[in-house]
A and B are shown apart, each in its own frame.
Chain A
Amino acid sequence: MLSLLACTIALQVPIIQPPRLRTILPNGAIVLVQKEPTVKGLVMQLFVSAQTAPDSPKTSGLRHLMEHFIAKGRTGTLDKRLETNGAFLTAETLRDMIVFTLKLRPADLKLGMSAVADIMQMGEIKPEDIAKETQIIREEQALEQPSSILAAEAWKLAFGDSGIDPEGDPDVIGSATAEQLRLLHRSSFVGPNLVLVVSGNVDLDEATQAAAATLTTVPPAKISPLPLRIGKAGTGSADVSGEARAVTAPNFNSELTSARLAAAFGIASEIPDSFVTYTPSERGGLIIVGETSDSTTLDKRLSKMDPATIFATGRSLARQWVKQQIAPDSDGYLRGMLIAQSSGLRPETMLDNLNRMTVEDFNAAVAEFQGRNAVAVIGHD
Chain B
Amino acid sequence: MISLLCGLALAQADAPKLVKIDEPADADIAFALVAPLPKLGAQDMQLLECAVSSLQDGSEVYTGRTIRDLTDGRGVKCELLPDAVLISFQVPKESFSSGVAMLSSFVEQPSFRKESIQKAIAALTARPPTYWSLAMHPLPFDLKSTSRDELMTVFQRVFKPTSVTVACVGDVSKENLNQAWATKTANWKTLPDPRFPDDSVLAPPAGGVAGVSTAAFRGAEFSATDSSLPARLLALYALGSGKGSSLFRISRDEHGWSYQQDSYLWPTASGFQPVLLVACRANPDLSKRMAQLQQELNADADAWTEEDRARALGMAEATLLRDVPFGPILLGDHPLQGGQDERACISAYWQMKTGASWNPAHLLESMKSVDLPALKAAAQEIFAHSTLDLLPGK
Contact = CB atoms under 8 A, between A and B. Distances in A.
Interface in B219-250: 242-244
Given A83-B243, A272-B56, A140 B259 contact: yes
Contact of A320 (B72, B127, B318): B72
Nearest to A379: B128
* Size bracket, chain A contacts: 35 or more
B212 A269 contact: no
A305 B244 CA distance: 49
A97 B230 CA distance: 40
B315 interface: yes
Interface string A132-149: 110111111011001000
Contacts of A320: 72-74
Contact of A136 (B244, B259, B317): B259
B314 interface: yes
B281 A84 contact: no
Given A40-B322, A292-B128, A293-B123, A88 B242 contact: yes
B73 A312 contact: yes
B361 to A, nearest CB: 11
Given A84-B307, A269-B73, A142 B68 contact: no
B359 interface: no
A79 interface: yes
Interface in A87-125: 87-89, 103, 105
A363 interface: no
The residue among A83, A242, A273 with the most chain B CB atoms within 10 A of its own CB is A83
Contact of B73 (A132, A296, A317): A317
Interface string A182-193: 000000000000
B242 A83 contact: yes
A168 to B, nearest CB: 14
B259 A88 contact: no
A242 B130 CA distance: 13
A88 B324 contact: yes
B211 interface: yes
B122 A88 contact: no
Interface string B289-317: 00000000000000000010011001101
B124 to A, nearest CB: 9
A138 B128 contact: no
Contacts of B126: 293-296
B56 A139 contact: no
A86 B322 contact: yes
Given A84-B307, A85-B314, A316 B123 contact: no
B321 A142 contact: no
A83 B311 contact: yes
B75 interface: yes
Contacts of B258: 139
B96 interface: no
Contact of A88 (B127, B131, B260, B315): B315
10 residue pairs, one from A and one from B, having the closest CB atoms: A295-B126, A79-B243, A139-B259, A135-B256, A293-B126, A80-B244, A140-B259, A316-B73, A142-B281, A294-B126
Interface of B: 25, 56, 68, 72-75, 119, 122-123, 125-128, 131, 211-212, 242-244, 252, 256-260, 279-282, 307, 310-311, 314-315, 317-318, 321-324, 326, 338
24 contacts: A41-B318, A41-B324, A80-B311, A84-B307, A84-B311, A86-B314, A86-B318, A86-B322, A88-B318, A103-B324, A133-B256, A142-B212, A142-B281, A142-B282, A143-B212, A146-B128, A273-B127, A292-B128, A293-B126, A293-B127, A295-B122, A296-B126, A320-B73, A329-B338
